[in-house]
Amino acid sequence: MKYLGASISPKKLSKSHQEAMVHKAMARIDGWAGKEISRAGKMVLLNSVMRSLPMHTLSSSWINEGVIDKFQGLARSYLWSFKGKKKRFHLIGWNKVLLRKNSGGLGVKDLGIMRHSIHAKRILPFLNKERNIWSKMLLNKYDGYHPWYPKSNKSFSRSFKCIHNAIQMLKEGLRVRIGNGTRVDMWKDPWLSNLPINLWSTYLNMEIISRFNRVSQLIKNNSWDYDSILDLFGEHHLINFDLMYLPKRKTKDKWVWSVNEELSCKVTYNYLAEKQFKTEENKVS
């Protein structure tokens, strides 16, 4: 069954259904293959195909790695082809082709990264338990989900698995902004840094650690209780609290994206693309 051009099913989409997108893209690209198009023109055409064809499916279900690889292979062959000849020497590595132009790349979209970034806009509304319909539906089943301590994803629905996978790719940039501190777990939530305290390789005062559970216990009269902070963390963490803004009025604690205020598809895509490129560069070096 199809809806708005995307295959939908009460069950998991089969590989053959997903590969139909590849065949459709191949048909379009084959129509351009014999034409003399500049490399810049090819990149525009590739991005139009990469963006438009699988977008509905990406937003509603999880595309297999094999299908993603076929899309990428199709794009590589077309970009470096000449007058219909598909097998040509590739001038630069594909990881550099996928980078933004201002980062030295050619700006071709990576579907593997787009698969995660398209669900990024749903992360903060879900974690902050916003009162929209789809958040309520997910919270009815997945309330208590934590980015750093997720349960087995075998029981996750296909829609939530997409959000979960995006969260796992981005969790190092997710952080809780302190309001009143009542909803923030001092040890499990990333509030003092982008890493939860119980994952730090640091020393805390174990004699008094059991007395503290919530960040609100470190706040007095809308300011930090430095006596308790010194007892618990010692002097070397004081600067982190000095740099952390506390609102004068009591507000709710809120999950935020610490890399950039906006967690949009575009911002997330650029972040993940840069992260992937640096990882691959480190492997080479």
- Whether residue 236 lies inside any domain: the answer is yes
- Whether residue 192 lies inside any domain: the answer is yes
Give the residue among 176, 144, 172 at the shortest CA–CA distance from 160: 144
Residue 255 forms beta bridges with which residues? 176
Domain boundary among 93, 118, 143: 93
The total number of structural domains in the chain stands at 2
Residue 85 forms beta bridges with which residues? 82
- Whether residue 130 lies inside any domain: the answer is no
Domain boundary among 73, 93, 113: 93
- Whether residue 277 lies inside any domain: the answer is no
- Whether residue 223 lies inside any domain: the answer is yes
Give tens-digit pLDDT for 51-66: 665 666 666 666 777 7
Top pLDDT among 193 and 107 is at 193
Domain ranges, residue 210: 179-252
Q: Report phi then psi at 238, rounded to 5.
A: -60, -35
The pLDDT-based confidence of 118 (bands split at 50, 70, 90) is confident
**DSSP state at residue 13:** P
Domain boundary among 61, 93, 125: 93
- Whether residue 120 lies inside any domain: the answer is no
The pLDDT-based confidence of 76 (bands split at 50, 70, 90) is confident
Q: Give the chain's mean pLDDT.
A: 78
- Whether residue 165 lies inside any domain: the answer is no
- Residues 203 and 212: their CA atoms lie apart, in Å, by 15
- Give me the pLDDT at residue 119, please: 84
Q: Which residues contact 12 (CB under 8 A, 6 or more apart)?
A: 61, 158
Give tens-digit pLDDT for 135-191: 888 888 888 899 998 877 777 887 788 888 889 989 988 999 998 899 999 999 999
- Whether residue 134 lies inside any domain: the answer is no
